Structure 1
């Protein structure tokens, strides 16, 4: 376990955390301190408890908004995946149909070429 000292509203708080989380905890405390100072600067909020409560509520509100945006984006991604999968299947069907048509056209061209060559061969035979 590690311990980090963070400052919020000018007061130091020792916080225990997992090893390697010290910087993250410090960043979170700095974020909270910014919110506390914003409320304190209005001059309308008095007392540490209320400052911390309002800062926490503001952070929670921002978190809820971010979660809602994330959920909306995840739904949009799922919708796009479904659309892609649907169109992928249609494209595969179209590719198969195009390949079949090309095979038929190729076969017809080969048949016509053979007939033309046969007729040309008949016309070029010189009677004896």
Structure 2
């Protein structure tokens, strides 16, 4: 299993579309993290980038994120990536919570488009 987390350093980024990178955790069948990979984020809005295809091609099954708009959520889901929104804090800790069955999607969609310098016009 591969779990991606939208990150800024070791922390979950507040907004998926503005993250610095995606930290990909490779997890074995014993639910142990075997390795990590840092995938730098392209500039621009996450929902209009090709990040869903890139993550899918890398074998990512799960994405843990802070806030996210409907566009990005729909694109990721279409690529077979389950999204868990509404998270914050250290990325590795949240992956451990997920592996322990203690993490779920908040179900809350980001409504900040147009705020905080977001300029992708949707």
Q: Do they superpose with TM above 0.5?
A: no
Higher relative contact order (CA 8 A, sep 6+): 2
Bigger fraction of residues in helix: 1
Question: Under a length normalisation based on structure 1, what TM-score does the superposition of the two structures give?
Answer: 0.20
Larger-gyration structure (1/2): 1
Bigger fraction of residues in strand: 2
